[in-house]
Each structure stands twice: as C-alpha cells, then as structure tokens.
Amino acid sequence: MSHPASEALFERARRVIPGGVNSPVRAFRAVGGAPLFFTRGQGSRLVDADGRQYLDFVGSWGPLILGHAHPEVVAAITAASQAGTTFGAPCAGEVELAERVVASYPGVEQVRFVSSGTEATMSAIRLARAFTGRDLIVKFSGCYHGHADHLLVAAGSGLATFGRPSSAGVPEPFTACTRVLPLDDERALETLFAQEGGKIAAVIVEPVPANHGLLPQRPAFLARMRALTREHGTLLIFDEVISGFRLARGGAAERLGITPDLATFGKVIGGGLPVGAFAGPRHILSRLAPDGDTYQAGTLSGNPVAMASGIATLDALIREDGWRRLESLGAQLEQTLRPVLDAAPCPVHLVRVGSLFWLSLHEAGAPRTAETLPEGAAQRFGRLFHALLEDGIYFPPSAYEACFLSLAHTGADFEQLAEGLRRAFAAS
C-alpha cells in the first residue's frame, strides 16, 4: 500500500534533516521502506498523514503509558502552558513532581530534573565520579544509556573489556574509562572487580534491559552486582529510563527488591514531554551545584509544562492502580497471542515483563545476553513488520526493539494483533 502524503513529507524531510529523521530508528532502515508521518494519536491509536489508522505498540518508545493524548495530561499541559511555558526560575511543579519521585522510588531522597534520558545518565555518571573520586565506569553489552560519548561504547574484541567507541566522532580516549561486560555473567563482573574494583566509580545497568530486545536478567546476577559494588565502594546506577514508573511505582528496583545508589529516569516521568531525572540519597545528590562542586544545569530543566505533564501522568497511574492493571493487560496479551505464536511457521517467542514485551526470533527463546539474531531473522521480521503495517498495526521498526503497552490498550486490541499476526504468518 502506498502512503503518498508520508512519502511526500519524507522527500521534503530528507532535503533538510539528515536521513529525514531526528532519531535514527524512525527511518525504517532495519525493515526497509519509508517511515510514516503521523498527524494524530488518541488512546491506543495513531493516524498517519494519509488518514489511515493504526493500532500502536510503540507508544513513542515508552512515555505514553496512559495512551496518546490522555485527556487529563492534555488538560494539565494546556493549563500550565497558558500560565507561561518556562520561567528559567523555580516553579511549584518541580517540587510536586520531585515529591512524587521521592515517595515512590526506594532509597531516593532528592531528584534533579533534566530534559532527556541521555542527560540523566550522563549527569548521574559525572556525579558518581565526583562522589567516589574515581574515573572508571562499567556498562553491559546490549544496554543503551543514551548517546553521551563515554556511553556510546561497544565491547572490545574477544574477552577484552576495554570500551571502543561505537560511533564515529567519539575519540578513543573518551571511552578509555569505560569497561564493557556481558550481561548474565557474575564471573566476568567478579574478575573485573578483582582487577580494578578500587578504581570503578559506577556500574550502570538497565535492570530490565530493553534495548536489544527484552533481556530479563536472573535476580542472582543483579544481586551479585549489588553486593560487589557495595563491597568495593562503587555506586550502582539503575538506568530506569524505560522501566521507571512503568514496571512498578518504584520501577524495576521495587520489582526486583534491589535498591541502587542512583537511578535515572525519562519517558514515563514526563508523560510525553521532554523530562529526564536522576535521583538518590541526599548525601550523594548534595555533591551537585549549587550545594556541591559537581556542575550540572539546564535552561528548560523543570519547566512548568513538562512538570505538569509528568505530575498528571503519575497521578492518573496511582489513582487508577495503573501498575496492577498493566500487569494484567500484559498477561491477557500473552494469553491471546500464545496460540498464534505457537502455530507460527518459524520460532517466535513472546518475552514479557509487565507492560513491556518483545517477539524474539531466536530459536531458543528468551536470551539473557545481547545475541545477534540468527541468519534471515531480521528479513523475516521486516516482512512481518510490513504485513502488520498493511493490516493497520504499528510495531517498532526493528527486530531488536521492545513493544510498549499502555492503559489505553484493550482485550479487543490484543485480538486485533493476534489476527494480524495470524494473517502475516499465513502470508509468509
């Protein structure tokens, strides 16, 4: 099916925006074809520039936990913006959202707001380095923490843990203080800590890794990480940009019963407006300027419109017992899709944690490390993606991206997805 209005916009976009997009995954490079341009979103539905409607399982990559254009969020944004969009000075909304974060997340006494997840992780790492007086950081292969230089790192060859830049424009010395380890491997962590433990400022991890498919970790691995970091005076940073306020009110930390030293947030905390945050106990956060010597700032940080959107989102989730409802929606989705996936012509496994899910095309089911998909799987996913799109279902345009549920999804939406998948498998 052609999408003339989207195609015309993409043609114009490519002239004035690199690749025609402002974030690479949107360009459909992993699935082929031209991206759709959207004009409206309501509940679980999107409408494209050609007026076609889609059932959405992307949810803007996580923020829209209440669905598109939730009336309370829209009303809060409207009211706040009518009173002035930004003051560059404190406003009550910052205090109100910070109080909700402190009341929700284990071990958090103070929060600093920023405008993206990238800023949140970048700033949390600066703070951890300042607090510990150490330089090294550890990240895990397959976890994404935004595009700051020292976090855009791939593992070195073989068993080497030395980080190599995974993007052009990142000088080797910038990643020299980053170590990269495999997920799901206590031994690798123990070995690194035995060698360099006294120099490691922070270990940063997505407690439920959701950027290389969905890779739920063994609780014992995360518990060992917590114990080792504590033993060596290293800060443990949970990057909860996806999982925070999505998997539970207290994020993955609450679900796993593990309290990190610092946590980073994004996506849900802004309810669809640009908000990020990093948070932790007062004795660490007080190292930030103006109380302390660690500089961090932002012109639009904590602006009243973004704060109002985050507050309205969290309040609706709390009032509607959102996390319990999302869990049961996830279970319902699983039940509805199971027979269709079992009958698929190639292995397709549903991996789910709460309201996050992923269709894994790995033969053996749910991997726990960042494995490359088997030969031909990415092409198979591309065909599946386009068959669903033709059927009015919008899936993430990459086999490695997780899907997001919202409170606006219903059992009928899951039936529609099951039917779409059944038809796509039959046609493949």
Ligand X SMILES: Cc1ncc(COP(=O)(O)O)c(C=O)c1O
Query: Which residues are catalytically annotated?
Result: 144, 239, 267
Residues 144 and 211: beta-carbon distance below 8 Å: yes
Instruction: Pick between residue 45 and residue 212 the one whose CB is nearest to ligand X.
Output: 212
217 is a contact residue toward ligand X (CB under 6 A) = no
Name residues contacting ligand X, limited to 228-257 (CB under 6 A): 239, 241-242
Smallest gap from Cβ 139 to ligand X, in A, equals 11
Q: Does residue number 146 form part of the binding site for ligand X (CB under 6 A)?
A: yes
Q: Kindly state the smallest distance separating residue 82's Cβ from ligand X, in Å.
A: 26
Give the CB-nearest residue to ligand X: 117
Decide if residue 356 touches ligand X (CB under 6 A).
no
Q: Smallest distance from the beta carbon of 24 to ligand X, in angstroms?
A: 11
Select from 112, 145, 246, 386 the one that contacts ligand X (CB under 6 A).
145
Which region, judged by CB under 6 A, interacts with ligand X, from 111-119, 225-233, 313-321, 334-342? 111-119
Nearest distance from C-beta of residue 125 to ligand X, angstroms: 12
What x/- string results for residues 33 through 62 when contact with ligand X is judged by CB under 6 A? Answer: ----------------------------x-
- Between 221 and 425, CB nearer to ligand X: 221
User: Can you tell me which of 104, 116, 132, 336 binds ligand X, judged by CB under 6 A?
Assistant: 116
From residue 260 to residue 299, what is the string marking binding to ligand X with x (rule CB under 6 A)? ------x---------x-----------------------
Decide: is 64 part of the binding site for ligand X (CB under 6 A). Answer: no
137 with 202: CB under 8 angstroms? yes
User: How far apart, in Å, are the Cα atoms of 235 and each of 135, 253, 278, 302, 314?
Assistant: 12, 15, 13, 25, 27
Query: Is residue 118 part of the contact set for ligand X (CB under 6 A)?
Result: yes
Residue 402 within binding range of ligand X, rule CB under 6 A: no
301 binds ligand X (CB under 6 A): no
State yes or no: residue 117 binds ligand X (CB under 6 A).
yes
Rounded Cα gap, residues 209 and 225, in angstroms? 15
User: What are the b/e assignments for 38-48, b being 16+ CB within 10 Å?
Assistant: beebebbbbbb
* 28, 144, 394, 414: which one binds ligand X (CB under 6 A): 144
Q: Which stretch binds ligand X (CB under 6 A): 85-93, 141-149, 169-177, 220-228?
A: 141-149
Distance between CA atoms of 422 and 428, rounded to whole angstroms?
10
213 near ligand X, judged by CB under 6 A: no
Residue nearer to ligand X on the CB measure, 144 or 395: 144
Residues of the shown chain interacting with ligand X in the complex, contacts defined by CB under 6 A: 61, 116-118, 121, 144-146, 206, 211, 239, 241-242, 266, 276
